[in-house]
Amino acid sequence: MARNTTRTGRRRRVLNEEVLSASNITAYTGKGDSNVEPGDTPRYGAGANIENHPQVTSFVPRRFRTLCLFGLAGISVAVVAELIAYYAQPLSDLAKVVSPAELTDALSNRPIAWMSATVLLLTVGYARLVFSLRRHRVDDYRGRYRVWRTAGWAATLLSINAVVALHPLIARYLGSLVEWQLLPEGAGWWLVPVTLAGGWLMIKVMIEAAECKAALALYLLASVCLAVSGAHSAGWSPNWAAALPEVMSRSLPLVGFTFLLVGSQLFARYVILDVQGLIEHSAPIAEQPNEASKVGERAPSNQQPVPSIEEDEPATQSSWVDGSEPETDYEEQPTRRLSKAERKRLRKQKSRNRAA
């Protein structure tokens, strides 16, 4: 009874606020005024203005438990899908109208494919966010931030291929053209270029994310998962993995993609905190002077120090501040007694002046 009363009171308050808002808008626009033009009536409050919208960086998880939930979600889908594939026969006997192959395809292969595509698309978004922030770093003289744009395009292609699964078809077609199968079932025709391009890109990304140790660790785990899956596709899987062929080629890539997503989220979080100045960095080490400069700076012991002009001649304040010509005070100049030669030369000059 008390809950119903509380809910009724809340509804009345909401209705009262809406009525007051509508009356204020009507009073503001002057509904009966013929000068009001269509489109002048505000339909949203101040809370819907653009300055109150959430920013893109608001979608980066800040708490580690949220990041753990993202990782557990991807791994859980892989585990549940593999359990359904493993017990497909008992479940088919229970349903009696669905074959094990149909059950595996509907509840195992498709969920993993769509989950992989979703995880990779989220990775594209975080890679693009890191690229938009990292390109403004002032000490990146080599332009290493461009690797995040390339990583975003690569994740987009992988997301499309996760649903369409074009790589075995392309490998089979290329093998039929040259009449030579590279690795079992022509897997080498897609595995070799993907390994070369993907390995180079992962190395560049890990070098870029080396400042964030947690992101670097997750990128390493993702590389291991994808490398093991690729080795299984090439027929190089160990004996213990022969009993679980679908796990290696179906669920292990999803686990690797999940590690890529969480690693990208961690590095995006690191970059945002770094932009805000919340991460401390060690001061840059000053360059040591070379031997030539040391020799130049080393003065001989018997050489007297050269006095500087500033030390010998004290600075005096100039009185020329009004733009006029500076005045020379001859009276303040020190006087000395003329020598005999100077007096004789002066008398000769006076006699010449009189003759002229």
**Would you say residue 61 has pLDDT above 80?**
yes
**Would you say residue 38 has pLDDT above 60?**
no
Give the C-alpha separation, 274 to 285, whole Å: 20
79-120 confidence digits (pLDDT tens): 999 999 989 889 888 878 888 889 899 999 999 999 999 999
Higher-confidence position of 292 and 276: 276
Range scoring the smallest mean pLDDT among 58-62, 173-177, 269-273, 318-322: 318-322
Cβ contacts of residue 122 below 8 Å, gap of 6+? 261
pLDDT of residue 113: 94
Contact (Cβ atoms closer than 8 angstroms) between residue 119 and residue 256:
no
pLDDT of residue 175: 79
pLDDT of residue 347: 81
Tell me the average pLDDT across 215-244: 84
Placement of tokens 């010998």 in the chain: 312
**Would you say residue 308 has pLDDT above 50?**
no
> Which amino acid would we find at residue 238?
P
Give the C-alpha separation, 191 to 174, whole Å: 13
**Would you say residue 15 has pLDDT above 70?**
no
Task: State whether the Cα torsion 155-53-268-146 is positive or negative.
Answer: positive
Please report which confidence band the pLDDT of residue 341 belongs to, taking 50, 70 and 90 as the band edges.
confident
pLDDT of residue 96: 80
Give the C-alpha separation, 8 to 14, whole Å: 10
123-146 confidence digits (pLDDT tens): 999 999 999 999 999 988 888 999
For the chain, the average pLDDT equals 79
Cβ contacts of residue 134 below 8 Å, gap of 6+? 140, 145, 148, 208, 271
Higher-confidence position of 136 and 35: 136
Please report which confidence band the pLDDT of residue 161 belongs to, taking 50, 70 and 90 as the band edges.
very high
Give the C-alpha separation, 220 to 209, whole Å: 11
Range scoring the smallest mean pLDDT among 194-208, 237-251, 267-281: 237-251
pLDDT of residue 97: 81
**From the CB of residue 125, how many other CB atoms can be counted at a distance below 10 Å?**
18
Contact (Cβ atoms closer than 8 angstroms) between residue 116 and residue 74:
no
Ramachandran area for residue 30 (φ above 0: left; ψ -120 to 50: alpha; else beta):
left
pLDDT of residue 315: 45
Tell me the average pLDDT across 296-305: 50
Q: What is the largest CA-CA distance in the chain?
A: 146
pLDDT of residue 11: 58
Higher-confidence position of 298 and 122: 122
Tell me the average pLDDT across 208-220: 95
pTM exceeds cut of 0.75: no
Angle between helices 188-208 and 213-233 (to 10 degrees): 170
Side-chain-side CA neighbours of residue 181 (13 Å): 8
